[in-house]
């Protein structure tokens, strides 16, 4: 029976008659849903946010870098969104794209994964494939999803199939999209892997099968910890270079001319996004179970976490040099998204910078063409709206803090009319003007 169920599932996935259910319509789930729709599948998107569901069904995008026309096209091709988890019963594949943040103690918070799984397992049936895409520690799929699925009486690898395939989305990246980014996939059993490969291969150009869900989970962590460690290194190099009066951006530009053995990473005011600030803590937490200390990874995390306070120190020094204190000064934060040219605020260091400035008594406002209103976040929320940049507006502030270097900013205007610029992104790295302070 198991071979027959697997064969039927693979056949439906291969001829694209299968119905794909994607749970979580955020920065990962929505692009994936649109890609499956483009590939000719019938897709149902699940989300608990009724407002988001209504927007998608009306053909509107709730994510800035995703054009509403693409959503409308998917809707016309049969895509629809729902907040009714019972409709999981009607799909052939369930892909989980839900958040995996940290709690207040910097420990993994799997509540979105476990609560979502608990709500949908009663609607599962034989012959489905379930894939987790959320970033997490090695062992999550086996320890959290496997027993929940089998508690329904279904046998994973025989009557239902379980895989882990980490998302690799990079919001706003013009060079790589859902289809063109190779897809790592690991199954709980060999049959599960077959089902997983069949699930993704019609929508993704290149599949990368691995031997287990744990390998796939660790692969995702390695990718992002690699970046976190190297960003930690260059952030520490920035602090050293600053103390020595050396322009770190000029150093990086020179070093990257070496055609081998060097990959450029760039410093900033701290780490942001849904993966790089989070993933190292997932691994270090799990490693303690095996009595392993991840000192190297944790050190990089300490360096990166400390960057916002270092930046505020530079703000303090710049204001002191002008005969002012942070307390009572008017500070404009330029850019609050976690990286340039997107509206994504997840784990943005700008939120921490604003918090620190407010704690020190500054009068803070921000400007961000991609984030018109400060969103409600798990740890930060401020009643603020983005202000428009103009010569008159810039002149009203004692200091401008460049936190996210969106291409949409008029940097000549800012340079000309800001009294002090504290530049955390190196946008003015080769500008010797005395009112520009590298940070």
Are the C-beta atoms of residues 372 and 385 closer than 8 Å to each other? Answer: yes
Q: Is 192 marked active-site?
A: no
Round to whole Å and give the CA distance between 236 and 267. 8
Q: Is 362 exposed, middle or buried (0-12, 13-18, 19+ CB in 10 A)?
A: buried
Residue with tokens 């069904």: 57
Question: 24: which 2 tokens?
Answer: 């979580």
Are the C-beta atoms of residues 163 and 196 closer than 8 Å to each other? Answer: yes
Angle, CA of 137, 164 and 93, to the nearest 5°: 145
Greatest CA separation found in the chain?
A: 80
Q: Which of 97, 185, 192, 275 is catalytic?
A: 275
Specify the pairing of strand 183-187 against strand 161-164: antiparallel
Are the C-beta atoms of residues 47 and 80 closer than 8 Å to each other? Answer: no
Q: CA nearest 86: which of 115, 46, 36? A: 46
The continuous run of DSSP H or E covering 334 comes out as strand 330-334
Are the C-beta atoms of residues 16 and 40 closer than 8 Å to each other? Answer: yes
Cross-strand bridge partners of residue 248: none
Q: CA nearest 29: which of 16, 10, 48? A: 48
Q: What is the Cα gyration radius of the chain? A: 24
Measured between alpha carbons, how far is residue 156 from residues 125, 132, 344 in Å? 11, 14, 36
The continuous run of DSSP H or E covering 437 comes out as strand 436-438
139: left (phi over 0), alpha (psi -120 to 50) or beta: left
Neighbours of 184 (CB within 10 A): 21
Residue with tokens 């870098």: 65
Round to whole Å and give the CA distance between 134 and 113. 8
Cross-strand bridge partners of residue 399: 331
Residues 6+ apart with CB under 8 A from 338: 272, 273, 344, 345, 346, 347, 348, 349, 350, 404
Enzyme catalytic residues: 275
């Amino acid at each position: 029976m198991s071979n027959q169920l697997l064969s039927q599932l693979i056949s439906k996935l291969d001829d694209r008659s299968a119905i794909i259910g994607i749970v979580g319509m955020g920065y990962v789930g929505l692009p994936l849903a649109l890609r499956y729709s483009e590939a000719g599948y019938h897709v149902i998107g699940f989300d608990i946010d009724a407002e988001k569901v209504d927007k998608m069904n009306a053909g509107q995008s709730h994510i800035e870098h995703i054009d509403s026309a693409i959503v409308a096209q998917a809707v016309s091709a049969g895509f629809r969104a729902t907040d009714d988890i019972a409709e999981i019963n009607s799909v052939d594949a369930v892909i989980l794209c839900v958040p995996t943040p940290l709690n207040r103690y910097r420990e993994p918070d799997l509540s979105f994964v476990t609560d979502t799984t608990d709500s949908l397992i009663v609607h599962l049936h034989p012959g489905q494939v379930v894939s987790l895409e959320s970033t997490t520690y090695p062992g999550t799929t086996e320890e959290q999803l496997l027993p929940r699925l089998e508690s329904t009486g279904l046998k994973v690898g025989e009557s239902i199939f379980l895989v882990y395939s980490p998302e690799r989305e990079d919001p706003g990246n013009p060079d790589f999209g859902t289809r063109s980014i190779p897809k790592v996939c690991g199954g709980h059993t060999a049959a599960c892997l077959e089902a997983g490969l069949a699930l993704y291969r019609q929508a993704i150009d290149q599949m990368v099968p691995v031997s287990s869900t744990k390998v796939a989970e660790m692969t995702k962590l390695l990718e992002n910890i690699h970046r976190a460690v190297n960003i930690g290194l260059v952030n520490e190099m920035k602090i050293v270079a600053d103390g020595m009066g050396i322009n770190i951006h000029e150093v990086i530009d020179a070093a990257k001319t070496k055609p081998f053995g060097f990959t450029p990473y760039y410093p900033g005011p701290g780490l942001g996004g849904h993966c790089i600030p989070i993933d190292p803590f997932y691994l270090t937490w799990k490693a303690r179970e095996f009595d392993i200390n991840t000192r190297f990874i944790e050190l990089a995390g300490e360096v990166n976490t400390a960057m916002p306070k270092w930046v505020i120190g530079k703000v303090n020094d710049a204001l002191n040099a002008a005969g002012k204190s942070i307390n009572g000064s008017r500070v404009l934060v330029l850019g609050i998204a976690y990286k340039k040219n997107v509206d994504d605020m997840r784990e943005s260091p700008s939120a921490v910078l604003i918090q620190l400035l407010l704690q020190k008594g500054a009068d803070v406002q921000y400007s961000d063409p991609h984030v018109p209103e400060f969103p409600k976040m798990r740890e930060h929320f401020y009643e603020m709206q983005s202000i428009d940049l103009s010569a008159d507006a810039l002149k009203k502030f004692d200091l401008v803090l460049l936190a996210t270097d969106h291409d949409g900013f008029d940097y000549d205007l800012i340079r000309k009319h800001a009294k002090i610029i504290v530049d955390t992104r190196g946008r003015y790295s080769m500008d010797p003007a005395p009112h520009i302070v590298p940070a």
